[in-house]
Amino acid sequence: MRELRIQAVGAQGDGIAEGSFVPLTLPGELITAEMAGNRGELVEVLEPSPDRVLPPCPHFGVCGGCAFQHWDAKPYLEWKREQIQFQLAREGLETEVLPTFASSPPASRRRVALHARGGKGGARLGFKERRSWNLVKIEECPVTHPKLVAAFPALARLAAPFLEHPKSAPTLHVTLTATGLDIDITGVEAKSGGLSADARVRAAMIAGEHDFARVTMAGEMIYMARQPMVKLGPAVVSLPAGSFLQAVPQAEKAMVEFAVQAAQGASRIVDLFSGVGTFTFRLAEIGGVYAADSSAPAIAALKGAVGTATGLKAITAEARDLTRRPVLSTELNKVDVAVLDPPRAGAFEQHVEIAKSKVARVVGVSCNPATFARDAKILVDAGFRLERVLPVDQFLWSPHIELVGVFSR
C-alpha cells in the first residue's frame, strides 16, 4: 500500500504520481493505492479534488467503457484540449486550439460493441472490465441511446446461438439506424466449420421476434427485414454490413460543419478516407467532390446515395487503398481543398503527396492527436500553416479525443 499525491492525468486517463499510474484519480488528490510495479489500483481517496463528482453509472469503476465519470465537465473538457496542445508541441507546432466542443450529451451514442459470454440461463452481454478480459454485465449505460439500452435483453438472446462453439467469443457491433438496429457479429469460431445451420436459423428467428433490421456475421447475411439507412447531410445512405459510422450524430454534425466552413469557396474538393460519405455530401453542396476509401462496399453505398439528394455538385468515388496508393501530388494539383479522415494510424503517405501538391487548404479529421501532429508536421514543413484545431468530445467520459484541424498555405 502506498500513499500518493496525484500530479496530473495521463493520455490513457490514469492519474500520474511519482512515475506511477492509478486510474480513477484526479490532479491534486491524495490517495492510497495497491501497487504492482508502476501501476496501481485505487484503495481510498484521502483528500478529494474539488472537481470530483458523483459518477452517474453504477458500473463505473469496474466497467472499462468510461474513465472520467468522476470528473467535473469543465476540467475534463480542458484536459482533452491540453492533450492536443501537448502532442502538437512535441512536433514543435503551435496554433489556436479552440475549447473542446461538448458535442456528446448523455444517452446519445448510436453505436456500441457488446461482448457476449456463455452463462447459466443464456448469454451474458456487456463490456469488458478495466484491463481485463472479464465481462461486466451491463443493464444500463448513461452514454448509450435509450433505444439501444432497451434492446440489451433482446441482444443477449440473439447472442446465444453464436456461442455454440466453446472457443467463440462474439462481439455484437450494434448501430441504431433510421430503420432499426443493424447488428454485425464478429468473434465466432470459424476453424471448426463456423456457425451451424441450426444456430443460423435460431438467430434469424430471434432477430425476427425482436424486429431487428439486419443481422450479419462478419458481413455475411444471417437475417434482414429492412435495409439499414442513415441520413448524411442531404443524402440517405444504405449502410453496408459492418461499416464505419461516427458514434454520435451530434459530434458528426460538429465536425462536418467545421470542415464545410473551412471549405467554403472551393470548386474542386477531395474527400479522402471518405467511408460512406460522412463529409462528402455536405462538401458537394460547395463544389465537385472526388471521394476515395479502401472499403469497396462503403464506396458502393456512397455512389448509391448520390441520387437521393438534390442540388449537389458532381461526385465521383473510387475504392482505393490510400496507404499503398495515395492520391498523387500530380492528381491533386487542380484541387482547392483536401479533406482527410484517416484511421488512428494516420495518413503519412497521403500527407507527403499533399505537401508536394498545389492544394491550397487541408482539413484534417483525426481520432488520434499523436498521429495528427506527426502528419501535420509534414504539411507545416512544406509551407502550410495550421490555422486552428477544434477538439470534439465524441466519446463522452473517455480519454479518446476527436479533432478537426484546418491548414492553409
Which residue is listed with cell 470530483? 52
Contact by Cβ (8 Å): 318, 299: yes
Helix, coil or strand: residue 42? strand
Q: Give the distance, in angstroms, between the CA of residue 139 and the centroid of all CA atoms in the same chain.
A: 22
Residues in the chain: 409
- What 3-state class would DSSP assign to 337? strand
Closest CA to 48 of 67, 69, 27, 68: 27
Provide the 3-class DSSP secondary structure of residue 56. coil
C-alpha cell at 350: 497521403
Q: Which contacts of 129-136 are long-range, i.e. CB under 8 A and separated by 24 or more positions?
A: 129/62, 129/63, 129/64, 130/23, 130/61, 130/62, 130/63, 130/64, 131/64, 132/64, 136/59, 136/62, 136/63, 136/64
Place of cell 439499414: 228
Name the active-site residue from 63, 66, 141, 367: 367
Give the separation between CA 195 and CA 402, rounded to whole angstroms.
37
- CB-based contact 127:115 (threshold 8 Å): yes
Q: How many CA atoms lie within 13 A of 31 on its CB side?
A: 27
H helices of 66-196, in order, are 73-90, 146-150, 152-159
Q: Is 63 a catalytic residue?
A: no
Q: How far apart are CA 27 and CA 8, in angstroms?
A: 5
In sequence order, the β-bridge partners of residue 403 are 366, 391
CB neighbourhood size of 89 (10 A):
11
Query: DSSP string spanning 135-171?
Result: EEE-S--TTB-HHHHHTHHHHHHHHGGGG-STT---E
**Number of Cβ within a 10 Å radius of residue 381:** 11
Please choose, from the candidates 234, 191, 188, 193, the residue with its C-alpha nearest in 3D space to the C-alpha of residue 215: 188
Residue positions annotated with a catalytic role: 367
